[in-house]
Amino acid sequence: MPLVTSEKMLSDAQKGGYAVGAFNVENMEMAKAVIAAAEEMRSPVMLQTTPSTVKYGSLETFAAIVKAEASKTDFSVCLHLDHGNSFELAVQAMKAGYTSVMIDGSHETFEENVALTKKVVEVANAYGVPVEAELGKVGGKEDDLEAEADHNTDPEFVERTGVSSLAIAIGTAHGFYAGTPVLDKERLSDCKKVVSVPLVLHGASGLSEEDVVECVQRGMCKVNFATELRVAYTDAEKQLLKENPETFDPKKLGIAAMKAVKEQTILRMKMCGCTGKVQ
């Protein structure tokens, strides 16, 4: 079916007490693997690309890949710009066919973040595309951006910007964790009480199953996974080359990598509670 926006998908998750898994993809193989997992699990799904990924492959290329794969399905697939780092990139993504965008102004001051986000929302409304924003810095590294965690979350932000979903900082970090993460789950529960739009958990790679499940139970409606998919992909190729160093066909490497990414995606969909949610 055609690509859908994230609005109904996340609204359904919010009402149903589960989260939609949002998976960062870097190439055709990863996109096919994530969609294959969603088909097997009968799960709505979001595929995401970051600024460095679209710089590598272009917005148009990824939009074409995901659109083509989604057209073979009978369930909801959304293509999302993750951590859009400028107004211009967000608009370009909408024009290219992305059906959801994130504008990340969390590195700016509160007022600058509000102004930037509101500007993107105004354009997105004309395209019928929902916008995710981030308030409070999620620590760690995402693409070329590195930040110290900052747990500032103000419900006024949603009212002033008109965003459709909000990523909040509760102690997660992008990339894998150096130690055991300590999440401020009470902050999450408090945010759910005062923020009306669906909440988003960034930095889920490396979290325990218990942490992911509890965050979903406390109100997260979208959970992002990136680093662990990249690791699964490359580890599978490394293993194949270790066992069969004479392998030279890229398709064989791709098949092994897709299998690993699909398996990892299924595990995370189960943790999010979104399996079997396709009507």
Q: Is 235 a catalytic residue?
A: no
Task: Render pLDDT for 27-79 as a digit per residue (tens, 0 to 9).
Answer: 999 999 999 999 999 999 999 999 999 999 999 999 999 999 999 999 999 99
Confidence at residue 177, expressed as pLDDT on a 0 to 100 scale: 45
Confidence at residue 141, expressed as pLDDT on a 0 to 100 scale: 46
Please, which pLDDT band fits residue 181 given cuts at 50, 70 and 90? low
Give the mean pLDDT of 247-258: 98
Confidence at residue 173, expressed as pLDDT on a 0 to 100 scale: 65
Which residue type does 11 have? S
pLDDT exceeding 70 applies to what percent of the chain? 89
Catalytic entry in 12, 74, 82, 249: 82
- DSSP states of 203-236 as a string? --TT--HHHHHHHHHTTEEEEEE-HHHHHHHHHH
Please, which pLDDT band fits residue 112 given cuts at 50, 70 and 90? very high
Average pLDDT, the chain: 90
In the block, residue with structure tokens 């989604």: 70
Give the mean pLDDT of 232-240: 98
Task: Render pLDDT for 121-150 as a digit per residue (tens, 0 to 9).
Answer: 999 999 999 999 998 754 444 454 444 444
Q: From residue 33, how far is each of 16, 132, 138, 214, 259 by CA, in Å?
A: 26, 25, 27, 26, 7
